[in-house]
A and B are shown apart, each in its own frame.
Chain A
Amino acid sequence: MASYSTNEFRGGLKVLLDGDPCIILENEFVKPGKGQAFNRVKLRNLMTNRVWERTFKSGETLESADVIDQDMEYLYSDGEFWHFMATDGSFEQFPADAKAVGDTVKWLKEQDVYTVTLYNGSPLTVTPPNFVELEVVDTDPGMKGDTAQGGSKPATLSTGAVVNVPLFITIGEVLKVDTRSGEYVNRVKSS
């Protein structure tokens, strides 16, 4: 397995620390003119999502972590695992457990493409695209002529996600939603 020395540390590098895969966020080089050099490094533990601050003597090394991001299509859930298929033409399938899917579960729509982060070949996290388009399956009846006014109501989407929508939205409409904020963006014309 490759390893990286402190002078190769940079934001985005994936390394193993205390046995967990981590991504380097910041690397600060500190050295008295005539003294020993150190690196103060901020890393996010990809297993726990916690941010760690660690100090290294310059020249110390960390093993690289076998972590890659891959685009995958969501296929189905069998109740225990959510199954994804690589879109690189390999048709390789990967089962992701509830921990890996996490909150993304509420944005999972079959045949849509997600970023699956693989650690040693197994899904570690599943990240939705910034915007998804989902159908409204339940909401209070729409109010005619209320397109310009404010006010909102909850709407349940096909994946089970609940978002606040304007009052004029009706069941069966397809909405564009920002997955980062969980907010309604606009209606999408059904094709």
Chain B
Amino acid sequence: MSEQPAWRPHASLAVLKSRAQQLAFVRGFFAERGVLEVETPALGRFGVTDPNLDPVAVTVSAPGVQVGWLQTSPEYHMKRLLAAGAGAIYQVSRVFRDGERGRRHNPEFSMLEWYRPGFSDDELMGEVADLVCNWLQCERPDTLSYRDAMIAWAHVDPFEASDRTLRRRCEEWLEPEQLAGLGRDGCLDLLMSFAVEPNLGQERPVFITSYPASQASLAKVSVESGVPVAHRFELYLKGIELCNGYWELTNPEEQRQRFQADNRIRRASGKPEMAIDDAFLAALDHGLPECAGVALGLDRLLMLKLGLTDIAEVLTFPLEEA
């Protein structure tokens, strides 16, 4: 007798109801604050250049378009709306990241992304805390710098330690020959994932702030206590990374340079280079208002609400059963 493929939903009906409540909560939260809900394409002509994100390519046939990319986040499109004067906006969307599957990852997931013109990263962190703590009924978050978190749990200073010291520290997890191909940021990511993250937000949520400038992505960089740091923040709860926010970079020239730098890293690590989204850059040339933005994983937020540890438990059908 051949085995029937698994067809039943993974999430229970109770979980589906909580998910619907969470969505209603989010929409109510932003409606009350006058933030406009928007929809932007899940399928675009460009993917991100980020060296650590692999967008899913799809073949499409439409006039002038042969290849499309499922968006890893609605960031570029939403920033085009901001440049056009949309004001404060939010979106609940499905985003796609190739190769990401684990207890906290599914290649397709639900993301809540919002932008606040006129907000700094600190002000947006306050709003993230309002949303998360009201929904989870938890205490307000602590704030800890990336540097202090690394020193506390990985016992290295991410800004001062030499490459050699960092590698040494990573030998707890990787063999020297594996480390040969891992750059400074790769080493820091390893320490963050294995030494630091499991300790974060065990009592109450914690914001990690002031990332190394090399991990700025699309955040502004400024100098704090003598070192360049990114105006980037993440919120952790029970060791789970919940969101990633920036005081957004608005300078088109610097944005161009970061895209090119991303592609250099991609080339060096044998990954395909990504075409640069010229429409996004044109929007920056026109002028992105000073703003802060954040992306928050709704599946993980639901896991935390329900005390579940595997993302599959909050999904109707994880990819291998979808």
Contacts and interface: CB of A to CB of B under 8 A. Distances in A.
A and B physically associate: yes
Given A35-B192, A57-B178, A29 B105 contact: yes
Contacts of B121: none
A37 B194 contact: no
B118 interface: no
Contacts of B173: 38, 55
A191 interface: no
A57 B181 contact: yes
A56 B189 contact: no
Interface string A173-188: 0000000000000000
A38 B193 contact: yes
A33 B241 contact: yes
B52 interface: yes
B193 A31 contact: yes
A58 B174 CA distance: 12
18 contacts: A28-B102, A28-B103, A29-B103, A29-B105, A31-B193, A33-B241, A34-B244, A36-B182, A36-B189, A36-B190, A38-B193, A38-B194, A40-B194, A55-B178, A55-B190, A57-B178, A57-B182, A57-B186
Given A35-B185, A56-B178, A57-B181, A29 B241 contact: no
B199 interface: no
Contacts of A32: 189, 192-193, 197, 241
Q: Chain B interface secondary structure, helix, strand, loop or mixed? A: mixed
A31 B190 contact: no
A40 B295 CA distance: 26
A42 B295 CA distance: 32
Interface string A49-66: 000000111101000000
Contacts of A7: 99, 101
Contact of A29 (B100, B178, B295): B100
Contacts of B197: 32
Contacts of A36: 52, 182, 185-186, 189-190
B215 interface: yes
Nearest to A34: B217
Contacts of B181: 57
Contacts of A37: 52, 99-100
Interface in B133-189: 173-174, 178, 181-182, 185-186, 188-189
B215 A30 contact: no
Interface in B187-221: 188-190, 192-194, 197, 215, 217
Contacts of A40: 194
Nearest to B53: A34
Interface in B78-117: 99-103, 105
A46 to B, nearest CB: 20
A10 to B, nearest CB: 10
A19 B189 CA distance: 29
A36 B186 CA distance: 6
B248 interface: no
